[in-house]
A and B are shown apart, each in its own frame.
Chain A
Amino acid sequence: MVQQLSLFGSINDDDYDLLISTLTTISGNPPLLYNSLCTIWKPNPSYDVENVNSRNQLVEPNRIKLSKELPFAYLIDETMADKPLNFKILKSFTNDEISLDYSMTKNILHDEVPQTNSNNSTTVGKKDGENVKSDVKEGENKDDEADVDMDATSTVSNKSCSSWSLQISDIPAAGNNRSVSMQTIAETIILSSAGENSSITSLMNELGYVFEFQYLTIGVKFFMKHGLILELQKIWQIEENGNSQITNGGFLIKAYINVSRGTDIDRINYTETVLMSLKKELQGYIDLSVPDRQSMDSRVAHGNNVI
C-alpha cells in the first residue's frame, strides 16, 4: 500500500504561461503533456452486502477507481490537429468542449474500442516528444474511422480489455496540524482479460461493482527532484448529457510524492520536508495547501456528492 503525500493549489488560465516557465526553471525539466481517464465504481446497490467481514471486522464499502491513458487523438478536434502536441495545447481547452464524449467512453468501458485503435499508441511511453507527434499523425486518421465505428450497431464483444490501474484509496489521515495531505492507496494492475463477457465493465460487475461516474484529466507534469511530481490539470466530467469542465477558468495544481511503504516513517518525514520546501519556494505565487480530507473520502456512505 502506497502512501501519497500531496498539496493542492490553483491558478487562473492567464497565469499559465508564466507558471510553466517558472516551473521549467525550478525543475530543470520541460513540461510533459499527459492525460488520464478515471472511472469510479461503487458496490452494486442491488446487492445487500454487510459492512462486516467473516472475522467480524468492519469493512466500509469503498469506491474503486479504474484509470488509464487515452490516445490524444480522442481528445483533440480538427482545429487543434495541426498544432504541436505540447503544453501549449492546454490553452485551447478553455471551456466545456472536449472531443471525448460519453459514447466513446462507453465503448472503451465495454471494450468495443474501434479496431483501428492500435494498442501501440496507447501503451508507448509518451515521455518522448517525438513519440507523441508520431502518435498524433497516426491518430488523425484513426479518429475519422473511429467515428464511423461508433455508429455501427454494437454487438456483444468478447474482446479482451486493455490494461487498467485499479485503486482503492483510504480517507486521508486525520489531524488538525497536518502540513501535507497523506493518503493510503491500495493498487493492482489489470493487464488483460479473456473469455465470455470479458469487457472491463463485465469484469467489474462480476466483482460486485457498478459504474458511477467518470472524469478526464488533461494536464502537464514536471518531474522534480526527490520523486516530487507537480501536475497542472484540466478536468472534465464526462456525462451522458454533455461534458463539463470542473476547472473552468483555471488549473488545478497537484504536487505529490508516493512513498512505497507506509511504515517507512523516515521517508515519509523526509518527503513532507520536500513538499514543504516546494510550498515555501512558490509562496506568494501559488498557495499550495492541504485539501479538506472529507472531499477525498471515497467511502460510499460518505460524501455521496464527491464532485
Chain B
Amino acid sequence: MYSITFHHHARQTVLIKDKSAMVTTAAAADIPPALVFNGSSTGVPESIDSILSSKLSNIWLQRQLIKGDAGETLLMDGLTVRLVNLFSSTGFKGLLIELQAGTSNEAANFEAKIADIEAHLSEIQVKDYKTSSDSLTPDSDNYICDLAYQYVRALEF
C-alpha cells in the first residue's frame, strides 16, 4: 500500500493498494458540509497517515518514506512542469518530473511533446529513467488518483 500526500493539491492524501485508490483529506475546509451538519464529522480531521501510524499501527507498518522538498513549478510550451528532488532516510532517490498539459488544445500535442523530451534525453545519453502515463480509471476521470498512481508507477524501483 502506498500513501501519497500532494501539497500542491490541497494536501489531499491518496492511498493506493493494488489497483484501487482512496482520496482522503485532513483539511477542515474540504469536508463536505453535510457531514459536519449531521455530526458525522467533528470538523477536525487528521491525515490518514497519522491514523495508520497510531491507531492502526499493529496492522500497518511504514516501510519507507520518500519526501520531495522545495520543488519548482515551471510553465513552458503549454506544459506545467513540476520538478522535485526526492530523498529517503538513506539519501537521494532521484529527480521526479511531473508534466501536465494545460488546456485541451495543448493536450492534443502532449504525446508529441513527451516524445520530444524523450528524444532529448537519449541525445544526452540519459537512459535510466521511468515514465508513467497510466490511468487507474480508464473509463472515468479522477485526476488526483491517476496522478498518485503515476507517481507510484514511476517510483517503483
Taking Cβ atoms with an 8 Å cutoff, the residues of A that contact B are 1-2, 4, 32, 34-36, 38, 43, 47, 49-55, 57, 59, 61-62, 67-69, 122-127, 158, 160-161, 163-168, 185-198, 202-203, 206-208, 221, 229, 231, 258, 260
Within B100-114, the residues touching A (CB, 8 Å) are none
A288 to B127 Cα, complex, angstroms: 71
| Pair B57/A191 contact, Cβ less than 8 Å | no
User: What would be 21 A-B contacts, judged by CB atoms less than 8 Å apart?
Assistant: A32-B37, A34-B37, A49-B59, A50-B58, A59-B58, A67-B40, A68-B34, A124-B33, A126-B38, A158-B139, A160-B140, A160-B142, A163-B35, A165-B40, A165-B41, A187-B46, A188-B25, A196-B19, A198-B20, A206-B18, A260-B42
Judge whether B70 is part of the interface by a CB distance below 8 angstroms: no
Question: Contacts A160-B142, A186-B46, A258-B44 known; A191 to B23 CB distance under 8 Å?
Answer: yes
Beta-carbon nearest neighbor of A58 in chain B? B58
Question: Which residues of chain A come closer than 8 Å to B24, judged between CB atoms?
Answer: 166, 188-191
A126 in complex: contacting residue of B30, B34, B58, B140, CB < 8 Å: B34
Question: Which residues of chain B come closer than 8 Å to A167, judged between CB atoms?
Answer: 42
10 closest Cβ pairs, A-B complex: A194-B145, A194-B142, A59-B58, A53-B57, A67-B40, A195-B20, A195-B136, A165-B41, A165-B40, A34-B38
| Pair A124/B34 contact, Cβ less than 8 Å | yes
Judge whether B55 is part of the interface by a CB distance below 8 angstroms: yes
A187 to B26 Cα, complex, angstroms: 9
Shortest Cβ gap from A38 to chain B (Å): 8
Judge whether B5 is part of the interface by a CB distance below 8 angstroms: no
Shortest Cβ gap from A22 to chain B (Å): 21
Shortest Cβ gap from B101 to chain A (Å): 20
| Pair B12/A191 contact, Cβ less than 8 Å | yes
Question: Contacts A57-B57, A123-B32 known; A193 to B45 CB distance under 8 Å?
Answer: no
Question: Which residues of chain B come closer than 8 Å to A126, judged between CB atoms?
Answer: 34, 37-38
Beta-carbon nearest neighbor of A59 in chain B? B58
Question: Contacts A126-B37, A188-B26, A197-B20 known; A206 to B57 CB distance under 8 Å?
Answer: no
B30 in complex: contacting residue of A34, A122, A189, CB < 8 Å: A189
Question: Which residues of chain B come closer than 8 Å to A188, judged between CB atoms?
Answer: 24-26, 45-48, 51
| Pair B34/A194 contact, Cβ less than 8 Å | no
A32 to B17 Cα, complex, angstroms: 40
Question: Contacts A36-B39, A231-B39 known; A203 to B44 CB distance under 8 Å?
Answer: no
| Pair B51/A168 contact, Cβ less than 8 Å | yes
Judge whether B121 is part of the interface by a CB distance below 8 angstroms: no
A2 to B41 Cα, complex, angstroms: 10
Question: Which residues of chain B come closer than 8 Å to A1, judged between CB atoms?
Answer: 46
B61 in complex: contacting residue of A53, A124, A206, A221, CB < 8 Å: A53
A54 to B17 Cα, complex, angstroms: 21
A54 to B115 Cα, complex, angstroms: 45
A69 to B140 Cα, complex, angstroms: 25
Within B38-92, the residues touching A (CB, 8 Å) are 38-48, 50-51, 54-61
A138 to B56 Cα, complex, angstroms: 41
Question: Which residues of chain A come closer than 8 Å to B16, judged between CB atoms?
Answer: 195
Question: Contacts A188-B26, A190-B23, A194-B145 known; A35 to B38 CB distance under 8 Å?
Answer: yes
| Pair A158/B57 contact, Cβ less than 8 Å | no
Shortest Cβ gap from A75 to chain B (Å): 12
Judge whether B133 is part of the interface by a CB distance below 8 angstroms: no
A198 to B22 Cα, complex, angstroms: 8
Judge whether B21 is part of the interface by a CB distance below 8 angstroms: yes
Judge whether B31 is part of the interface by a CB distance below 8 angstroms: yes
Candidate in A49, A54, A122, A186 with the most chain B CB atoms within 10 angstroms: A186
Question: Contacts A34-B39, A68-B40, A160-B142 known; A203 to B20 CB distance under 8 Å?
Answer: yes
Shortest Cβ gap from B48 to chain A (Å): 5
Beta-carbon nearest neighbor of B33 in chain A? A125
| Pair B59/A192 contact, Cβ less than 8 Å | no
| Pair B142/A192 contact, Cβ less than 8 Å | yes
A189 in complex: contacting residue of B18, B21, B25, B142, CB < 8 Å: B25
